[in-house]
Amino acid sequence: MQQERCGWAMSDTVEQVYHDKEWGVPSRDEQYLFEMLNLEGAQAGLSWRLILTKRPAYKEAFHQFDPDKCARMTDEELEHIRETAAIVKNKLKIGGVRKNAIAFLKVQAEFGSFANYIWGYSDGKPIINHWTDMSQMPAKNDLSERISKDLKKRGFIFVGPVIIYSYLQAIGMIDDHVITCPYHTENRN
């Protein structure tokens, strides 16, 4: 059987590169965990392709997603980003990066790292699904519901259960590559 990448990443180079190099690959890198949390939130109501194409502008605007620097951003800096950066201009989403940075730093202080916190939900191991078709993949699950609820209590925003499910896929805590995809955990060399 010929292996083909997941259907959502078949037609666009930006999505293909993200799919092949990042999606479903376990990460415990703090800056990456913070970046993906905010990019997934920025995507709410929009296409992931749009966010991926704007990713370099997001990284430039938000100090490469350094949570310490983002937590100290002023209202003026955030407004300047809204006016000038080539990102989604939603004021709540832009301000959400600072709000999430503050909450992220609190989680780091409490758990030693955000990775310890988030990966604790899966005992430090990726959850490897075995979908034969993308249509089997849920938009959310019990785990994303639980994490979403806790993140909201901790002061994070744009962290609903659907966003969090996508986040867990992005950071490799959930491998939702279809089983015929060469990038599924069990097919990688």
Known binding-site residues for Zn(2+) equal: 6, 19, 177, 181
Beta strands in the chain (DSSP E): 127-128, 174-175
Contacts of residues 73-79 at CB distance under 8 Å and 24 or more positions apart, as own/partner, are 73/97, 73/98, 73/101
Q: Is 8 labeled as catalytic in the residue annotation? A: no
Enumerate residues 6+ apart whose C-beta is below 8 A from 12.
Answer: 49
Among the listed residues 40, 58, 131, 167, the single catalytic one is 40
For residues 26 and 173, what is the distance between their CA atoms, to the nearest angstrom? 6
Return phi, psi of residue 105, to 5°: -65, -35
Residues forming the annotated binding site? 6, 19, 177, 181
Q: Is 119 labeled as catalytic in the residue annotation? A: no
- End-to-end distance of the chain based on CA atoms, in angstroms? 17
Among the listed residues 18, 117, 119, 165, the single catalytic one is 18
| Residue that has been written with the tokens 């605007």 in this structure | 61
Are 25 and 70 in contact by the 8 Å Cβ rule? The answer is: no
Among the listed residues 48, 58, 119, 131, the single catalytic one is 48
Q: Is 40 labeled as catalytic in the residue annotation? A: yes
For residues 48 and 69, what is the distance between their CA atoms, to the nearest angstrom? 25
Active site residues: 18, 40, 48
